[in-house]
A and B are shown apart, each in its own frame.
Chain A
């Protein structure tokens, strides 16, 4: 089960089970690789260790080969006494950079001579760009180009601010794609009409077989 309830519902057990399953596969492969008995192996800090010989292998070194193994369906789970993370409140890795403004989001990314484009689509699905006077946008300092597409108009500029201003300056004319007459009232009316007996099929998909 996914989504925001995953961990609180079944996830805590599910994650433990998955972790234990992969851990078992890593130990199994490590036993062969290090040539030591599986029962003498322990794990900590993403490493499989053999205390008696001092041999060890990291999960990263074992992962590719261990991934091809048949996984156990009922691995031994860690006991609560050996938990190192569950029950603690570790700091999130992303927060320090976010609260200091250092984190780079998509809008913050830049390259030398990079240009920014803003785009406006037809307000109605299927609406076509009929005409647009480019001049008001091109008159703004930093705006370089107005691009006309089938259903949208875009402005390319040296930065976000001129690109935003350029788009605002345009008054594009879009077609209504023949949908200008549609309203909440007209949709209800259409539904009422279709609900009347004898109006036939609205949408035929698939085949019903008599059993």
Chain B
């Protein structure tokens, strides 16, 4: 079964098991390693991404639960060459 996501503005299709945490799809399928594996229990916040604009602990949410949503990772927030997001600037 294929799942579709929009990650940092790019459409992404994957056949990964929909029960896989979003964190590992980002890190291992998409090589977006800016999202970190920290505590693995949703406490530390190192895995935080935006899912349809909401701050979400990606280690605690399954791929299937964010199907069709728009995900923003730290790589999509802003860059030094273009413009840093206010959070990065801080």
Give residues in A with beta carbon < 8 Å to B.
Answer: 96, 99-102, 104-105, 107-108, 110, 141, 159-161, 164
Contacts and interface: CB of A to CB of B under 8 A. Distances in A.
B74 interface: yes
Contacts of B74: 99-101
Contacts of A164: 40
A72 B31 CA distance: 53
Interface residues on B, range: 20 to 34
B13 interface: no
A105 B24 CA distance: 16
Contact of A160 (B28, B34, B77, B87): B28
A80 B27 CA distance: 49
Given A107-B36, A107-B37, A164-B40, A101 B75 contact: yes
A118 to B, nearest CB: 11
B31 to A, nearest CB: 8
Contact of A100 (B28, B37, B40, B78): B78
Contacts of B80: 96, 100
B24 A159 contact: yes
A143 to B, nearest CB: 13
A100 B24 contact: no
Nearest to B89: A99
B24 A161 contact: yes
Contact of B75 (A100, A105, A110, A160): A100
B2 interface: no
Given A96-B80, A100-B77, A101-B74, 10 more contacts: A99-B87, A100-B74, A100-B78, A101-B32, A105-B33, A105-B36, A107-B33, A108-B27, A159-B24, A160-B28
A32 B48 CA distance: 59
B20 interface: yes
Contacts of A161: 20-21, 24, 28
Of the candidates A99, A102, A159, the one having the most CB atoms from chain B within 10 angstroms of its own CB is A99
